[in-house]
Amino acid sequence: MTHFLDRLPFEWSAPGARELQELLVSVYDEPMAVKAMAGKAGIVTWDVDWRQPVYGVWFDLIPAARNQGKLRALLSVIESGPDLAVAERLKELIGDRPVLEAPAADPPPGTWKDFSDPDPLERRIFSTDTFQDVAFLRRGTEQATAVCRLLVTDDRGRRYHGTAFRVSHDLLLTNHHVLCGGGTRPEQVDAWFGYEQDLDGRDLEHVSVACDPGSVVGDETDDWAVIKAAGPLPDDAVVIELPERAGLDVGDRLYIIQHPNGGVKKFAARHNVVRYVDDEIVQYWTDTDRGSSGSPVFDERWRLVALHRRWTRIGPLSAPAEYRNEGVRIERVAAGMAHAGLR
């Protein structure tokens, strides 16, 4: 099968195409810097509108580079740059077996949960202060040590990335669709701990821990799964406790530690408002991206409240869209693990 980078014309619907664009947008967000890289690759850019937002710049530039037979040359320029994490992720995308976002689980039947009146919520949000004690940052940093990037190879040879986190001595929790997407089973799973950068953008040394593919236990309906580490986990990786009850209300604020786009660990904390909550799910505005599936969702005291799994569009197609992210209530996950004898 022809690699998505080599198809002509460039196919945005091909697996990996949007991941490539979103990766580049997330790192290279200044149009003039992008233009300079295109020049180094020898790309004629007369049909790229450099005045538009950078998302549109990459949308124009990628197919233009492919049409000129220089897309791989452009990626080589980027790969040879100073950002080693981007270079590593590009190698995964341009390899013979691209590492892609795990296939999403099918949504449950019925309509998505909705809300009745956003106005009181908005007044409530903006009348609430956003001060946090310094201990909030310290605790978040501690919890982040439990979060890892997953690299999964399934029984068909396809490779995926996702996020997971430590919940016991040797167990990692993630989404069912990350490990068993599309009815497959994992043949190889590696967990990357400490895959991060410092404030100057330098890569920190990470630890890769092999996992036991035969140990996977989970629930497809509630979209959770655990896998056992085949070797010792890093000493500094804390265990995140799974509470039996986690209080949540519309208007609460949530925080997510994740590996978006298969890249280094990130922390999402802006416009992080709960929009809907019931006994099964919680929906929120906190940012996520491809590869964030399986991330822990925390409240303001860094207590685990949900397992992130997807995004969704709210409301009828004829109405203006509201997009939300969604996680499974951690009580359901904890109950499922207990039923499976894992707690």
pLDDT tens-digit readout, 39-67: 999 999 998 999 998 999 999 999 999 99
| pTM of the model as a whole | 0.79
Q: Is 17 helix (H, G, I), strand (E, B) or coil?
A: helix
Contacts of 293 (CB under 8 A, 6+ apart): 101, 102, 104, 162, 163, 174, 175, 177, 178, 308, 309, 310
pLDDT for 108 beyond 70: no
**Burial annotation 45-65 (CB, 10 A radius, 16+ → b, else e):** beebeeeeebeebbbebbbbb
Q: Domain 147-229 adopts which CATH fold?
A: Thrombin, subunit H (2.40.10)
Q: With contact defined as beta carbons under 8 Å apart, do 191 and 209 qualify? A: yes
Residue 246 scores a pLDDT above 60:
yes
Q: What is the pLDDT of residues 198-241, one digit of tens each?
A: 988 888 999 999 999 999 999 999 999 999 999 999 999 999 99
CATH of segment(s) 252-340: 2.40.10.10
Q: What is the pLDDT of residues 18-42, one digit of tens each?
A: 999 999 998 888 999 999 999 999 9
Mean pLDDT of all residues belonging to the chain? 89
Res 123: pLDDT: 37
Q: Are strands 159-166 and 171-174 parallel, antiparallel or unpaired?
A: antiparallel
Cβ-based burial of 280 (10 A; exposed 0-12, middle 13-18, buried ≥19) = middle
Average pLDDT over residues 10-19: 91
> What pLDDT, on the 0 to 100 scale, is given for residue 111?
46
Question: Which residue type occupies 119?
Answer: D
Please answer whether residues 125 and 52 qualify as being in contact, where contact means their C-beta atoms are separated by less than 8 angstroms.
Answer: no
Split at pLDDT 50, 70, 90, the class of 118 is very low
